[in-house]
Structure formats: structure tokens, C-alpha cells
Amino acid sequence: MFAWLLLSLALALIGAPDAPASMPIRLAGLATYLIVMLGVIRPLAAVAARRVQRSEFSFEMLSIVLALALTSAAATEFIGVHPLFGAFIAGACLPRVEKWQKAIRERLETLVFVLLLPLFFALTGMRTQLSLLNGESALLWAGIVLVAAVFGKMSGAALAARWTGHPWRYAAALGALLNTRGLVELVGLNIAYNVGVFSPILFSMLVVMALLTTMSTAPILNMLGVDGYRLIKPLPPDHSEI
């Protein structure tokens, strides 16, 4: 959540093409929005949830949740911040009721996975211009971006895990897992591309980096011989595995 707040602040400083021209107005709008959502909407949602928590998640409640998410997204877009941030804050303000979360996933995941997610990947692919990476200089910089991304994630996570007492093999596995960019990385890249932070060639380099680091996760874990269960299983205090 802290990372999303930083991203929203950066977008408010940069400003979208159709956002208010004055930066103080955008920052004031963002601050007002956060105060209203976290200080008003979230407590009201918690009170309402306590009153109807035992009831099933009806279509009327689903309509309210979707209306809140869309309204919040429209508000941040009006301020000059990406609408995804508004939808994220709306989700953070809603109460955590397990059976409600399960009902929302069951009713929305088909639409999201079958329609919206493929459209998002298609849009990202259409924006990625691999033809810009055909020169020696572009390929060199793409390699530098990839090496820096892998080294920063894997070494940082592995050294931190090793420092806390995990053996090198498990530390490297944790680094490989954190090296996976996946969907969230692509979302961030598209947001930055929309406001003109990245040039087309840099955007293409970062998309290639995100895809390669994600694809390499499973082979690295297989090479290390670490499965999901053993990765999360507590290690004995006297382990000496290297």
C-alpha cells in the first residue's frame, strides 16, 4: 500500500494530460480524497459491515461495492491520478469479511480472467515495440536493464534471507520468487507510459525484462530443487545446509 501511495503522489506531481494544470490543486485534491476515503468511507463501511455481516453477499451489496470502486476510480482520474489507484483505495476501505470476499471472487473472476485480463495483456503487447530493440545500443541497454533488475531483486532478497539465518539455497529461492514481476509490474509500466514517464523504447525494454524475469522463476526454483512446501516449512534451529 505504501508503494501505491508513492506512485499516486508521483502521478499527482507529474499530472495526467487532462488533469488540473496546477500542481498544488492536484495535491490538495489527492489529500482531500484520501481523507474522505480513509476517514469517512472506511469507518462507515466498517459500521455497515458489522450490522449485516451475518447475511449473505447479495447482488445489491455487489452493486454497492462496484459503484464505490468505480466512483473512487473516477475521482482519482479527475484529480489527475490513475483510476487504478482509486479502485485500490476503495478495496482497502472495504471491510474484510471472508465469505464476502469469496463471493466477490466467484462472481467477478470469470469476467476478469476471460475478458479484462486478456485485453490488458493485448494492450501491453500492442504498446511494446520490439522493433526498437534491433540495434546494438538498444540491445546493450536492454541487457543492462535486465541484469540490474535481476541483481537488485535476487541479491537483495537472498542476502536479507541469509542474514536472518536461512541457508543459501532457500535464500536464493526467495530471491527468485521476489524477482517475479508479473502482472503488477506491467500495470505500473502502463501507468507510467500513459503519463509520458517512459519513452516507447524504454517501455519495451522494461516489458521484456518483466516477461523474462517472470518466465525464469520456475526454472530457477527447479534448478535449486526447492518446492513450495519446503520453502515455507520452518527450518530446524541447527540446520547446516548450504
pLDDT in tens, 5-17: 777 777 777 766 5
Question: Do residues 84 and 184 make contact, with C-beta atoms less than 8 angstroms apart?
Answer: no
Position 67 scores a pLDDT of 93
Residue 29 has pLDDT above 60, yes or no: yes
| Structure-model confidence comparison of residues 113 and 57, the more confident one | 113
Residue 222 has pLDDT above 70, yes or no: yes
pLDDT in tens, 73-107: 999 888 878 788 888 889 888 888 778 788 888 88
Does the residue 113 lie in any domain? Answer: yes
Residues 8 and 102 in one domain: yes
Residues 7 and 118 in one domain: yes
Position 170 scores a pLDDT of 87
Residue 224 has pLDDT above 80, yes or no: yes
Residues 9 and 107 in one domain: yes
Of the candidates 125, 101, 89, the residue with the CA atom closest to the CA atom of residue 208: 125
Question: Do residues 55 and 115 make contact, with C-beta atoms less than 8 angstroms apart?
Answer: no
Position 145 scores a pLDDT of 93
C-alpha R_g of the chain = 22
Does the residue 171 lie in any domain? Answer: yes
Residues 217 and 200 in one domain: yes
Residue 197 phi/psi, 5-degree rounding, is -70, -40
| pLDDT grade for 242, boundaries at 50, 70 and 90 | very low
Tell me the mean pLDDT in the region 108-130. 87
C-alpha cell read off for 207: 516489458
Does the residue 80 lie in any domain? Answer: yes
| pLDDT grade for 140, boundaries at 50, 70 and 90 | very high
Does the residue 173 lie in any domain? Answer: yes
**High-pLDDT (> 70) share of the chain, %:** 88
Q: End of a domain among 122, 138, 172?
A: 122
Average pLDDT score over the chain: 82
Q: What is the residue range of 46's domain?
A: 2-122
Please state the domain count of the chain.
Answer: 2
**High-pLDDT (> 90) share of the chain, %:** 19
* Interior angle at CA 101, CA 87 and CA 50, nearest 5: 95
| Structure-model confidence comparison of residues 239 and 133, the more confident one | 133
| pLDDT grade for 229, boundaries at 50, 70 and 90 | very low
Does the residue 241 lie in any domain? Answer: no
Position 101 scores a pLDDT of 82
**pTM summary value:** 0.70
- Give the three-class secondary structure for 166: coil
Position 241 scores a pLDDT of 46
Residue 201 has pLDDT above 80, yes or no: yes
Q: What is the distance in angstroms between the CA of the first residue and the CA of the last residue of the chain?
A: 35
CA dist., res. 151 & res. 241, Å (int): 23
Question: Do residues 29 and 99 make contact, with C-beta atoms less than 8 angstroms apart?
Answer: no
Strand ranges in the chain using DSSP code E only, listed in sequence order? none
Q: Is residue 120 classed exposed, middle or buried when 0-12, 13-18 and 19+ CB atoms within 10 A define those classes?
A: middle
